[in-house]
Copies of this chain bind each other. A is one copy, B any other.
Amino acid sequence: MAAPKLSNLDLVNACDSFPYPPPYRSFNPQLRSRLYSLKVVGNNTPLGYVLPAVAEVFRNLPDWSLDDAEDDATTTPTLTIVSGTNVAERSAVVAKTCEALRQTGAFVLLKGWRDELYPVYGLGREHLFDIERAASPLFGVNTYGVHMTVYTRSQESGELKIWVPRRARTKQTYGGMLDNSVAGGIATEEEPFECLVREAAEEASLAEEVVRSGARACGTVTYIYVRDERAGGETGLLQPECQYVYDLEVEEDVVPKPGDNEVEEFGLWSAEEVRESLAKGEWKPNTALVMLDFFVRHGVLTPANEKDYIEIVSRLHRRLEFPTP
């Protein structure tokens, strides 16, 4: 039996899977109800969405306050960090709690502890606190990354070919799946372009000068992902993400090579081969969206050959609901 063929909109729905607010039609509107908004004390701006089952764990923890808002239809449930008046103090509170939750084994997710910090921003772009990367989906805060597509273009035919890595089969998450040429998360205090240069060296052995001179910023891909089994850890957690997108056109003598144990191999794939592998579901969900955005910008997907063109282009650029830097 042939595997089901996914449409490009199916791929978008699989990653931008959190329902939009009314009046948009949503595939699962009840997901929105009863979410707790994450806040810091003295600041009314929601910073993340916390599932009720996660919020419950914080009910009697020091430094945290839970408001179920059950008696008041005009407010929403809230989980508030009540200690700390600056970045360092709030970050310390969050770190202490996350470390304790890790020790008690409260969440499977925290077994993937990375010792990397991600920043959380307020409405005035102010840096409010940092949080361990592995813990960020518990709080549903925005996270940020860089994704770059490295490609060649034939001098004669103009045909595009794309450098596609396959993730190591030993990776805990999405092992063996296809990925963008270079991708990584932006740590706190890191600039997107510097993160890109670092990841390009680590993951693809690309020389710094090639990336600095050739990589072109091409926008963002933004979505709100509802974590499923393949992401590892608890399912249903919300992960709003902003990926800064870059293109790097290289000559045929520039060949990316695995630089760490995260990538198994790189292949040079035609656009058609990439499209077929996308339809087979072989790509890590968010990297499929970056690939679709590349195809839209490069005229591979067009209004004439993609029936969901308008919907796809908008959905690849979802407006996030929490403040960004």
A residues sitting closer than 8 Å to B (CB atoms) are 20-25, 46, 123, 125, 191-193, 216-220, 222, 242, 244, 296-299, 301-304, 307, 309-311, 313-321, 324-325
Nearest Cβ in chain B — how far from A2, in angstroms? 26
Q: Which residues of B contact A244 (CB under 8 A)?
A: 303
Q: Which residues of B contact A325 (CB under 8 A)?
A: 310
Question: Please, which residue of chain B has its CB at the minimum distance from the CB of A325?
Answer: B310
Quick check: B319 and A314 within 8 Å, CB to CB?
yes
CA distance A6 to B127 in the complex (A): 26
Quick check: A220 and B319 within 8 Å, CB to CB?
no
Quick check: A313 and B220 within 8 Å, CB to CB?
yes
CA distance A23 to B321 in the complex (A): 7
Quick check: A218 and B299 within 8 Å, CB to CB?
yes
Quick check: B222 and A314 within 8 Å, CB to CB?
yes
A contact face: mostly helix, strand, loop, or mixed? loop
Quick check: B302 and A217 within 8 Å, CB to CB?
yes
Q: Which residues of B contact A123 (CB under 8 A)?
A: 25
Quick check: A297 and B242 within 8 Å, CB to CB?
no
Nearest Cβ in chain B — how far from A142, in angstroms? 9
Quick check: A324 and B298 within 8 Å, CB to CB?
no
CA distance A21 to B21 in the complex (A): 7
Quick check: A299 and B217 within 8 Å, CB to CB?
yes
Q: Which residues of B contact A218 (CB under 8 A)?
A: 296-299
* 8 A–B contacts from the bound complex (CB under 8 Å): A21-B21, A21-B23, A23-B46, A24-B319, A191-B304, A216-B298, A218-B297, A314-B319
Quick check: A24 and B219 within 8 Å, CB to CB?
no
Nearest Cβ in chain B — how far from A38, in angstroms? 13
Q: Which residues of B contact A220 (CB under 8 A)?
A: 309-310, 313-314
